[in-house]
Amino acid sequence: MAEDFLLEIGTEELPAAFLPGTIEALRERAKELLEANRLQYEGVATMATPRRLTLLVRGLEEKQDDFVQEISGPPRSVAFTAEGAPTQVLEKFCARYGVEPEATSIIKKPKGEYVCLRKVEVGKPAVVVLPEILPSWIVSLPFPKSMRWGTQDIRFARPIRWIAALYGKETIVFRVGDLESGDTTRGHRFLGGRNPIHIEPLEKYGEILEKNKVVVAPEERRERILLQARKLAAEVGGELLEEEDLIETLVFITEYPVAVRGKFHERFLSLPEEVLIAPMKGHQKYFPVKQGDGKGLLPYFVTIANMEAPDMLPVQRGNEKVLAARLEDAKFFFEEDTKRPLEDYVDSLRQVIYHKKLGTSFEKVVRIEALAGFLAERLCPERQTVLKRAARLCKADLLTQMVVEFPELQGTMGGIYASVSGEPAEVAQAIREHYRPVSSEGALPESLEGALLSLADKMDTVVGFFGVGSPVSGTSDPFGMRRRTIGILRILLDKDLEISLPNFVEKGLECLDGRVKKEPAKVQEVVVDFFRLRYQQFLLAKGFPYDTVEAVLSRSFENVPDLYRRVEVLHKMRSEPDFEKLILGCKRAVNILEQAGRDYGYTGPGSPLRESDLKEAAEKELFTAAEGFAGKMAAGESKEYERVLKGLVGLKGPIDRLFDELMILTDDRRTRENRLALLRKVADLFQWFADFSKISL
């Protein structure tokens, strides 16, 4: 009879950042463990609080599945004599597996009849298997960082203090280090009492913890946090300023969340919103409260306490006092920083080391300015002045007291201080936006100047670190190269910026001015390949088939928005009836060229295609069709990719007629090479768009 299985690993407080990934890893690894050990189950759920990781397996069968193994032996003709008696060959085979010849059977295979031994390993009870497999599995769970404690020779994210393991009503006993599992859990550190709590019955696990002030399910804690906090914000006529990263942090730093509203002095509202939000959200993990119309903040905040008390006023007052001190500091920093124009901070960047192999932050600013100018010259010459000014000032806020105290405000404060200093609004906005996107899916720059400045900054970082080392290895990416390359690709797509990515990389290397010790051409190749791989993964994540993406990216990698349009149109074309004609037409031309290479050593036209040598109607027809298609593309239709593909489909008929009516690889060399030159011309028209040989029909 199937029963539920519960495993709870009690620990010292786990970092909130560890828990989302750990819950997922716990779920997936539990499935792998159960399946590897032939334990059938209905479902797996995982939960976590700062002090516990919980695995709940629903409907775990009481015993393993039997393991049946069929072992092939010698051929029947070798295993038995003509009279049917076992031979020495069969006896040796049986002795190896500890059975008698009578235990074997005969099976038919394509090559004849063979002896077969069917071994059955009877499944063991789950209560026997679980203690055998759980100890090593628990300590193998992955964490960003792990530690040892006491005299233990095991590693875990934090010291393990208790383990509860139950299968139905039965306790599963095993040891991890010097700790033995049992049937008890712990309640809230302060509200749940000091004594261990028996989990009885198992199906009441959540209710038992709730009575001891622990909400074990993260989804339920999230719901309580938002319900309570939104209610408190609404009571003062406001709305909660909700950000997913803050909500997730609060979910995983609490076991019993209780919302408390506090207030700060209205005089702080004269500060920029970002200056108020940073200490509330970043340092104190408070929800700011915004006005109902969304046009500003109210002088309130909501904090989430990890406890409940008869009187929560002391909690409120304590949080108000801490925030007041933080806001006083922020006000002081802001007032001190704005006593000087932003330009005054730039020269001091000469004293700030950006990276020992890449120079100072001032040198980085010079490179960003050059790259921004490179982009502006090609994309928007009229904005060069604004963009270069934004580039010069974009890192100046790194030396302000506000950014030193709140690093997450870099760029944001630069934009604010630029406005206070009287810089044009376009300059201020570009500075504010130039770190975007800060994550693979983060918000993109809204202005063109912000987009170009972000591209320049990110490209300098990418080519710089590739130029002086190997910044990416396996899962290791300490300088965020993957995130930055995805950011560059997303910006190019979002703003439809048609620029040669290899040329942009080359300019970035040129701006490093001797700091790259490797061969620049080789670094450029590595960086472009890195971009190509990221773009391939990006397109696959969009749902485009692998062979469609590969067909386009394998031909060229220059203009990112253009490549996207090609992939998009080719993908759309695949659902149309003419698509197979398109592929077959291209492949037929390419195949004969490859055959000519094998049979005649043909590598390409030895001489130009001679129209005068095209005597037959079929070859003239194909030449005329190809020339007409090439002429349309030259006249401006080359970017109308749907029309291009349909035009290529139109070449299928003349190609087929050429093959049906004429011998391409004729013995006459002049005729053969001229017809091959015609096919090469046609194949080049196809492969200008994509490498259709990569497409699977």
DSSP-based three-state secondary structure for 629: helix
For residues 158 and 156, what is the distance between their CA atoms, to the nearest angstrom?
5
pTM for this entry: 0.80
Structure tokens at 108: 């038919």
Q: What single-letter amino acid sits at 42?
A: E
pLDDT at 696 over 90: no
241-273 pLDDT, tens digit per residue, is 999 999 999 999 999 999 999 999 999 999 999
Is 80 exceeded by the pLDDT of residue 123?
yes
**SS3 of residue 279 by DSSP:** helix
Crossing angle for the helix pair 652-661 and 579-600, nearest 10 degrees? Answer: 40
Q: What's 317-383 look like in SS3?
A: HHHHHHHHHHHHHHHHHHHHHCCCCCHHHHHHHHHCEEECCCEEHHHHHHHHHHHHHHHHHHHCHHH
Does the structure show a pLDDT above 80 at 504?
Answer: yes
Distance CA(221)–CA(256), nearest Å, equals: 7
Nearest to 327 by CA among 292, 301, 296: 301
What pLDDT is attached to residue 635? 62
The mean per-residue pLDDT over the stretch 216-228 comes to 98
pLDDT at residue number 629? 83
| Nearest alpha-carbon partner for 164 in 23, 53, 28, 31 | 53
List of residues 6+ apart from 577 with CB closer than 8 A: none
pLDDT at 217 over 90: yes
302, 230 contact by CB (below 8 A)? no
Q: At 598, which amino acid appears?
A: R
Give 473-500 pLDDT, tens digit per residue: 776 788 889 999 999 999 999 999 999 9
pLDDT (0 to 100) of residue 574: 86
Q: Is the peptide bond before 279 cis (omega within 30 degrees of 0)?
A: no
| pLDDT tens per residue across span 386-398 | 999 999 999 999 9
Secondary structure letter of residue 270 according to DSSP: G
What does the block give as tokens for 303? Answer: 């904090």
Q: Is the pLDDT reported for residue 212 higher than 90?
A: yes
Lookup: tokens for 226:
């938002």
- The overall average pLDDT reported for the chain is 92
> CA 574 to CA 566: how far, in whole Å?
12
What CATH number belongs to 579-694?
Answer: 1.10.730
Q: What is the pLDDT of residue 17?
A: 93
Sheet containing 238-240: order of strands: 238-240, 287-291, 297-305, 258-263
* 198 membership: H or E segment, kind and range: strand 197-198
Return the SS3 of 132.
helix
Residue of higher predicted confidence among 692 and 154? 154
- Model confidence over 519-547: pLDDT tens digits? 889 999 999 999 999 999 999 999 999 99
At 617 the pLDDT is 92
* pLDDT digit string, tens, across residues 156-210: 999 999 999 999 999 999 999 999 999 999 999 999 878 999 999 999 999 999 9
The dihedrals phi and psi of 238, each to the nearest 5 degrees, come to: -120, -175
Q: Which two tokens stand for residue 382?
A: 């009229």
Contact present, 64 and 14 (Cβ < 8 Å): no
pLDDT in tens, 332-351: 999 999 999 999 999 999 99
Query: Is 3.10.20 the CATH classification of the domain at 344-541?
Result: no
Ramachandran class of 168: left when φ > 0, alpha when ψ lies in -120 to 50, beta otherwise: left
**Cα–Cα distance, 15 to 678 (Å, whole number):** 67
- The answer, yes or no, to whether residue 365 has pLDDT greater than 80, is yes
Q: What angle do CA 327, 294, 233 make, to 5 degrees?
A: 65
- pLDDT at residue 270, rounded to an integer: 94
Q: Is pLDDT of 636 > 70?
A: no
Amino acid at the residue 449 = E
pLDDT score at 479: 85
- Residues with Cβ within 8 Å of 145's Cβ and at least 6 positions away in sequence, in order, are 157
DSSP category for residue 268: G
Other Cβ atoms closer than 10 A to 85:
9
Asked if residue 555 has pLDDT above 80, the reply is yes
Sign for the CA dihedral angle at 603, 608, 609, 613 comes to negative
**pLDDT at residue 417, as a whole number:** 97
pLDDT single digits (tens) 66-105: 988 889 999 999 999 988 899 999 999 999 888 899 889 9
Show the DSSP H helices in 158-302 as ranges. 205-211, 218-235, 244-252, 273-277
172, 205, 213, 256, 457 from 216: Cα distances, Å = 21, 9, 9, 9, 44
- For residues 321 and 313, give the distance between their C-alpha atoms in angstroms, rounded to a whole number: 12
Any idea where the domains of the chain sit in the sequence?
Answer: 3-63+125-211, 67-121, 218-337, 344-541, 579-694
**Confidence check: pLDDT of 649 > 90:** no
